[in-house]
Amino acid sequence: MIFARAAAAARESGLAPAMTRAFTSVKLPDLPYHPGALEPYISGAIMELHHGKHHAAYVANFNKAMEQQLEAEHKNDVAKIIALQSAIKFNGGGHVNHDIFWTNLIPHKDYEPPSGELKTLIEAQWKSLDNFQSVFSAQTAAVQGSGWGWLGYNKASGKLEIQTLSNQDPLSVTGLVPLLGIDVWEHAYYLQYKNVRPDYLKAIWNVVNWKNVGERLEAAKK
């Protein structure tokens, strides 16, 4: 959806079309499954709130911040552009991260362990899937405050890496390609697991969509 206002404003101000910019807003994706489909590992109540409220708010706030940035650009209000950057980072990161997250999960009845190239790389690095999950869970449980644990692909080395990040910082800031993200903001687990983040981290492995993770790896290697 192009913001027609931006184009109209540009025409009115007499700016050449090449100097205008339109912003295509982001959209809340649909969940690829029913909110209750990840039970008993992640409750339907959590999935509904997480997707319908939290992710939806990141989408709305990102679009709003980008719209405000566009207006500020037209007014040449540099101070305002700068002031908007943290909202763009927080909410844009929130959207990017959750967009990946929903696809990284799958109902347990459809669970399949890693295969092919992904399996090979995981075992080369961590000896076994179990060990990988232990190491990942331990590092991710240790995130202070809000953040994410990631399995990323390092294009330069051709290796997989585990990386944790704060708040909604996207994995892209590290140069790694995101393959699998686990949200450890308290909203991701609190209604069900309360303060016991390690229990959530143990449970979530039952609903990881390794096929999707493998597809992301394949795409990253192109």
Task: Report if residue 115 touches other proteins, rule: CB under 8 A.
Answer: no
Does the annotation place 183 within a ligand binding site? yes
Task: Report if residue 194 touches other proteins, rule: CB under 8 A.
Answer: yes
CA angle 102, 44, 144 (to 5 degrees): 60
User: For the chain, what is the HEC assignment?
Assistant: CCCHHHHHHHHHHCCCHHHCCCCCCCCCCCCCCCHHHHCCCCCHHHHHHHHHHHHHHHHHHHHHHHHHHHHHHHCCCHHHHHHHHHHHHHHHHHHHHHHHHHHCECCHHHCCCCCHHHHHHHHHHHCCHHHHHHHHHHHHHCCCCCEEEEEEEECCCCEEEEEEEECCCCHHHHCCEEEEEEECCHHHCHHHHCCCHHHHHHHHHHHECHHHHHHHHHHHHC
Least gap, CB of 30 to other proteins (angstroms)? 19
Between helices 129-141 and 116-126, what is the axis angle to 10°?
70
Considering only residues 168 to 187 of the shown chain, the ones binding other proteins according to CB under 8 A are 168, 185-187
Task: Report if residue 23 touches other proteins, rule: CB under 8 A.
Answer: no
Considering only residues 38 to 77 of the shown chain, the ones binding other proteins according to CB under 8 A are 49, 53-54, 57
Task: Report if residue 85 touches other proteins, rule: CB under 8 A.
Answer: no
Task: Report if residue 90 touches other proteins, rule: CB under 8 A.
Answer: yes
Does the annotation place 50 within a ligand binding site? yes
- Which one of 114, 147, 178, 181 is in contact with other proteins (CB under 8 A)? 147
Task: Report if residue 149 touches other proteins, rule: CB under 8 A.
Answer: no
Least gap, CB of 185 to other proteins (angstroms)? 7
Least gap, CB of 84 to other proteins (angstroms)? 13
- Which one of 191, 199, 203, 215 is in contact with other proteins (CB under 8 A)? 191
* Number of residues forming the site for other proteins (CB under 8 A): 20
Interface with other proteins by CB under 8 A: which residues?
49, 53-54, 57, 86, 90, 144-147, 166-168, 185-187, 190-191, 194-195
Residue numbers in the known binding site are 50, 98, 183, 187
